[in-house]
Structures are given as structure tokens and as C-alpha cells.
């Protein structure tokens, strides 16, 4: 994708998310850049600048509640950044011990989960940026996370060829 004929990422795009109202795309790149693109015009409307290494995951906040104006990005710089989209500024920077490979919002709440190269799943309070729980069990990088429809459990899968189920109902 390009903006006015000029590439807006200098390396490969690694991840993308569409806003709940389907008007914007959030793109992340190996170059550490994150852009918000208007899907109608194809133009970059904002850049979220704070990461220093490859972006591995991006997500808009849930469509309802205070986090509807938020986004989250994770990367190999060992950071989850929760963004205030009204001001294109970081709300919180959540430090990890290794690269962040995937993330998901926990339903319509202000909480997120991250999966990391270190094989751990971490739960974060999006308002404060505090890590509220760390789950172990994987021996290698986590590749994907999904929250069950009833929001009582989160499932992680890893390159260690295992899936793990963690109870999260108490945090929502």
C-alpha cells in the first residue's frame, strides 16, 4: 500500500487490523513504524511513533467503552504500547522480557493479553499499563491468542507444538 505514490513503510508490513467501524486500517512493519490509513482514500492519516524494532501485532480497541479510542501495538522491542488515538500518543508502554508476538483485547474490557517470544502470556490493565497476571507453560514463542466467547478463558498456541488454556474470568 502506498500514500500519494510514496511508500509509508520502508520494510515489509507484518500485521494489520481494521477499525470496528471499517473506516481505518492500522498497519505495522518490520521497520518499527505504525500507520493509520483511511480505507476510503488510502492515505495515511496518522503515524504512531514509539517502537524501535519490528512490529508483530496491532489491534484497535473494542468498539464500545473508553477503550474504543485506543489501539495496541506489540513488537520485538519488547513493548506493548497502548495508544490514545485521539491524540496519536502512547497511553502506556508495557515492558516485556522478550519480543511481543501477538495480542488480543479481552472482550469489550480495558484489558489486553500479550503472547511473547519467552513463551508467556501476560494480562495488562489498559488504563494503568500494569501487568496483572503472567501465565507460563510454553517452552517457546507464542504464535496466537484467542479469547473464548464466554470470556472465561484465553487460549494460546506456541511453536512448541502445544496449546494452553488459561482462566481469565476473574480479571474481567
Convert the pLDDT of each residue in 71-82 to its tens digit.
999 999 999 999
Instruction: Write the CB contacts of 41 (distance below 8 Å, at least 6 apart in sequence).
Output: none
| Contact (CB, 8 A) for 20 and 68 | yes
Convert the pLDDT of each residue in 27-39 to its tens digit.
999 999 999 999 9
pTM exceeding 0.85: yes
Convert the pLDDT of each residue in 126-149 to its tens digit.
999 999 999 999 999 999 999 999
pLDDT band at 11 (very low <50, low <70, confident <90, very high): very high
Distances (CA, A) of 79 to 9, 90, 93, 115, 130: 20, 12, 6, 11, 13
| Contact (CB, 8 A) for 31 and 9 | yes
With cell 492500522, the residue in question is 26
What's the full length of the chain, in residues?
A: 172
Convert the pLDDT of each residue in 119-132 to its tens digit.
999 999 999 999 99
- The mean pLDDT value for 41-66 works out to 90
DSSP for 31-51, written as a single string: TS-EEEEETTT--EEEEE---
pLDDT band at 64 (very low <50, low <70, confident <90, very high): low
pLDDT exceeds 90 at position 2: no
For residue 62, the model assigns a pLDDT of: 87
Over the Cα atoms of the chain, what is R_g?
A: 15
Distances (CA, A) of 134 to 94, 103, 129: 13, 14, 14
Strand partners, 2: 7
Q: In whole angstroms, give the CA distance from residue 94 to residue 65.
A: 21
Q: What DSSP designation does 97 have?
A: S
Backbone phi and psi for residue 4, each to the nearest 5 degrees, phi listed first? 50, 40
Compute the mean pLDDT over every residue in the chain, rounded to the nearest whole number.
91
Strand partners, 24: 38
Q: What DSSP designation does 171 have?
A: G
Percentages (nearest 5) of helix, strand, coil residues in the chain: 5, 50, 45
Q: CATH number of 2-171: 3.40.50.2300, 2.60.40.10, 3.40.50.720, 2.130.10.10?
A: 2.130.10.10
For residue 3, the model assigns a pLDDT of: 38
pLDDT band at 65 (very low <50, low <70, confident <90, very high): low
For residue 6, the model assigns a pLDDT of: 41
Amino acid at each position: 500500500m502506498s500514500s500519494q505514490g510514496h511508500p509509508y513503510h520502508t520494510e515489509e508490513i507484518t500485521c494489520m487490523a481494521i477499525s470496528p467501524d471499517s473506516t481505518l486500517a492500522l498497519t505495522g512493519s518490520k521497520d518499527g513504524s505504525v500507520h493509520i490509513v483511511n480505507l476510503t482514500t488510502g492515505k495515511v492519516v496518522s503515524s504512531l511513533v514509539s517502537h524501535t524494532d519490528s512490529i508483530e501485532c496491532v489491534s484497535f480497541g473494542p468498539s464500545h467503552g473508553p477503550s474504543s479510542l485506543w489501539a495496541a501495538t506489540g513488537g520485538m522491542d519488547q513493548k506493548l504500547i497502548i495508544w490514545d488515538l485521539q491524540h496519536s500518543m502512547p497511553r502506556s508502554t508495557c515492558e516485556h522480557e522478550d519480543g511481543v508476538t501477538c495480542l488480543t483485547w479481552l472482550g469489550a474490557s480495558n484489558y489486553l493479553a500479550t503472547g511473547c517470544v519467552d513463551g508467556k502470556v501476560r494480562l495488562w490493565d489498559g488504563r494503568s499499563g500494569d501487568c496483572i497476571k503472567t501465565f507460563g507453560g510454553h517452552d517457546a514463542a507464542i504464535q496466537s491468542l484467542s479469547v473464548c466467547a464466554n470470556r472465561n478463558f484465553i487460549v494460546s498456541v506456541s511453536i512448541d507444538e502445544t496449546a494452553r488454556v488459561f482462566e481469565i474470568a476473574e480479571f474481567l
